[in-house]
Structure 1
Amino acid sequence: MPRAVLRYVTHRITQHPDTDVTFEAECLRCDWSATPSEDGAAVDIECMGHTGRTDHEGFRRVCTSFALVVRAG
């Protein structure tokens, strides 16, 4: 019976250095959505403005980043 040699390598995950985090939001009551931005506060302000105009209070917020897995060490 053949023998197997197992080697374990530790990895870590980080944000990809050539990309930025993107923030998005969409209203849960209508088709409105905020302009995607690298500034999360700007997206939040758009949501608050939408609430002021429509009284819609619920939003789905998404934060997107790209990950890179590398060997540790």
Structure 2
Amino acid sequence: MTRSVLRYVEHRISRHPGTDVTFEAECLRCDWQAPASDDGAAVDIECMSHTGRTGHQGFRRWCTSFAWVERAG
């Protein structure tokens, strides 16, 4: 019989130091993409402008960040 010793260490996750969140969007009806930005409102405005020009109303939006995991304590 094999014996095992289990040890648990608490960790925490946070945004990687020195990085920002990046916001992006793309139209679901054509190949249009908003320029990536660290300002989510600017990307939303780009989407609304695209809707005004084309009538396209559906967009895929995403936020990208880099994570940093370290032991707690």
Q: TM-score, normalised by structure 2?
A: 0.93
SS at match of 1:52: helix
Give % identity: 78
Tell me whether 1:37 sits opposite 2:37 in the alignment: yes
SS at match of 2:46: helix
Matches within 5 A, 1:1-73: 1=1, 3-73=3-73
1:2-31 deviation per Cα after TM superposition (whole angstroms, max 9, x unaligned): 533221100111110111000000000000
SS at match of 1:46: helix
1:16-60 deviation per Cα after TM superposition (whole angstroms, max 9, x unaligned): 011100000000000000000000000000000000000000000
Root-mean-square deviation (CA, aligned residues, Å) is 1.0
**Is the deviation greater in 32-41 or in 5-14?**
5-14
The structure with the largest strand share of the pair is 2
Q: Gaps spanning 5+ residues in structure 1: where?
A: none
Distance 2:2 2:30 in 1: 62
In the alignment of these two chains, the number of paired residues is 73
SS at match of 1:43: helix
Aligned residue type for 1:58: G
